């Protein structure tokens, strides 16, 4: 499991490869916060290569969403498969995040 | 230690196939993914629904293991978490045991979907277990045990 970060224009795109769970959530949090500190404002997290997410992974996404908003930035999520969508719906986090079906749509939405 | 016992053959009717498995780990969250993968592969072996194998079982078991390691055993590497899994044609039963004093399931469960809780970073673990499993029980057996039951047809 790992996270890769790249810039697409002025948008920071993070790919979550594998699981987002208690054992690695801090790594994702730190990577995104580092970019935020550098002054980046637009963030897209892409889940096309993600297996499952646990409650602490969801918690980190909530935390990042707040921190990015506090800095006047925006966060989008993209490519949740049906199982991951169910997870967001069960926790009603689909109401908190802006979620796009594809990476392209998410990039266009900024 | 992993102990896998299975009865029946691949071509036998599903009703004859039962898997019992026991895994013991020290209190380190880095083991969670591997234990989940072991159990998930057994669910696939007895042809549980893809959603159960990809979502319900991995997330619920991951939550139970996190609770046991972080809260039950306080991440003390000298303390262990034991996982027992039994899968057959009807249901999956998972038991996750730690060396802690336990907790009250009803008191500890908050509703993270309430407006006032939606932006909380924590408080979704037990809720997710209850949403993703048919039954969640807690009991004491020389330590704290959480039992998760998922019926095949649910």
> Do B124 and A55 make contact, defined as CB atoms within 8 angstroms?
yes
> What residues in A contact B119, CB-CB < 8 Å?
62, 66, 96
Instruction: Measure CB to CB from residue B124 to each of A19, A59, A96 and give the nearest one.
Output: A59
Strand, coil or helix: B30: helix
Residue B143 confidence (pLDDT)? 78
Token pair recorded at residue A100: 């796009």
Span A45-81, pLDDT tens digits: 999 999 999 999 999 999 999 999 999 999 999 999 9
Residue A11's pLDDT is 98
Domain total of chain B: 1
pLDDT score of B11: 53
| Contact call for B66 and A56, based on CB within 8 A | yes
Helices (H), chain B: 32-45, 50-51, 57-66, 105-108, 125-132
Contacts 24+ apart (CB under 8 A), B43-48: B43/B87, B43/B92, B45/B17, B45/B19, B45/B87, B46/B14, B46/B17, B46/B19, B46/B87, B46/B88, B46/B89, B47/B14, B48/B87, B48/B92, B48/B150, B48/B152
**Cα nearest neighbour of A53 on chain B:** B59
Q: How far is it, in rounded angstroms, from Cα B55 to Cα B120? A: 22
Q: How many CB atoms lie within 10 A of CB A7?
A: 11
Residue ranges with strand state E in A9-89: 11-20, 42-46, 50-53, 74-78
Instruction: Check if the beta carbon of residue B35 is closer than 8 Å to that of residue B58.
Output: no
CB-closest option in A18, A23, A54 to B59: A54
Percent of residues, chain A, with pLDDT higher than 70: 99
Which residue has tokens 């006047």?
A72
| CA B17/CA A2 separation, integer angstroms | 36
Rounded average pLDDT per 10-residue block, chain B, 154 residues? 46 70 96 96 90 97 97 95 92 96 78 93 94 95 91 86
Cα angle B2, B4, B5; round to 5: 150
CATH domain A2-108 topology: Transcription Regulator spoIIAA (3.30.750)
CATH number of the structural domain spanning residue B19: 3.30.565.10
Domain chopping of chain A, boundaries: 2-108
**CA dist B43 → A59, A110, B99 (Å):** 27, 41, 27
**Are the beta carbons of A16 and A50 closer than 8 angstroms?**
yes
Contact list in A for residue B116 (CB cut-off 8 A) is none
Residue A97 predicted with pLDDT over 80? yes
Q: Which residue has the tokens 């939405």?
A: A109
Length of chain B: 154
Q: How far is CA B39 from CA A1, A44, A53, B146, B151, in A?
A: 18, 32, 17, 16, 15
Asked if A66 lies within 8 A of B70 by C-beta distance, the reply is: no
Please report the pLDDT score of residue B12 as a whole number.
57
Instruction: Report the alpha-carbon distance of residue A84 to residue B30 in Å, rounded.
Output: 22
Contact B54 A83 (CB under 8 A): yes
Q: pLDDT grade, residue A1 (50/70/90)?
A: low
Q: Which tokens belong to B60? A: 């619920």
Per-residue model confidence (pLDDT) at position B102:
81
φ, ψ of residue A4 in degrees (nearest 5): -115, 140
**Cα–Cα dist B116/B114, whole Å:** 6
Q: Looking at the partner chain, which of A83, A87, A96 has a beta carbon nearest the beta carbon of B119?
A: A96
Smallest CA–CA distance from A83 into chain B, residue: B55
Q: Can you give the residue range of the structural domain that contains B118?
A: 2-151
ipTM for the predicted complex = 0.94
> Which of B54, B119, B120 faces A52 most closely, judged by CB atoms?
B54
Closest Cα of chain A to B125: distance in Å? Answer: 5
């Amino acid at each position: 499991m790992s996270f890769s970060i790249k810039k697409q224009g002025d948008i920071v795109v993070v790919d979550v490869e594998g699981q987002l769970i208690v054992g690695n959530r801090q790594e994702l949090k730190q990577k995104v916060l580092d970019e935020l500190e550098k002054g980046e404002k637009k963030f897209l997290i892409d889940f096309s290569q993600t297996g499952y997410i646990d409650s602490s992974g969801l918690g980190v996404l909530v935390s990042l969403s707040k921190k990015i908003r506090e800095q006047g930035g925006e966060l989008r999520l993209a490519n949740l498969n049906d199982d991951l969508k169910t997870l967001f719906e069960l926790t009603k986090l689909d109401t908190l995040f802006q979620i796009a079906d594809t990476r392209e749509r998410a990039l266009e939405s900024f | 230690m992993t102990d896998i016992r299975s009865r029946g053959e691949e071509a036998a009717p599903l009703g004859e196939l039962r898997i019992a498995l026991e895994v013991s780990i020290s209190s380190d969250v880095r083991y969670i993914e591997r234990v989940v993968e072991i159990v998930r592969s057994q669910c696939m072996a007895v042809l549980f629904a893809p959603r159960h194998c990809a979502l319900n079982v991995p997330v619920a078991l991951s939550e139970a293991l996190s609770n046991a390691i972080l809260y039950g055993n306080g991440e003390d590497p000298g303390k262990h978490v034991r996982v027992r899994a039994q899968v057959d044609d009807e249901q999956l039963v998972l038991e996750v045991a730690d060396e802690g004093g336990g907790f009250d399931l009803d008191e500890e469960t908050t509703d993270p979907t309430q407006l006032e809780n939606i932006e909380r970073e924590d408080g979704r673990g037990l809720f997710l277990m209850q949403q993703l499993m048919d039954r969640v029980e807690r009991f004491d057996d020389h330590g704290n045990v959480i039992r998760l039951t998922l019926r095949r047809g649910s």
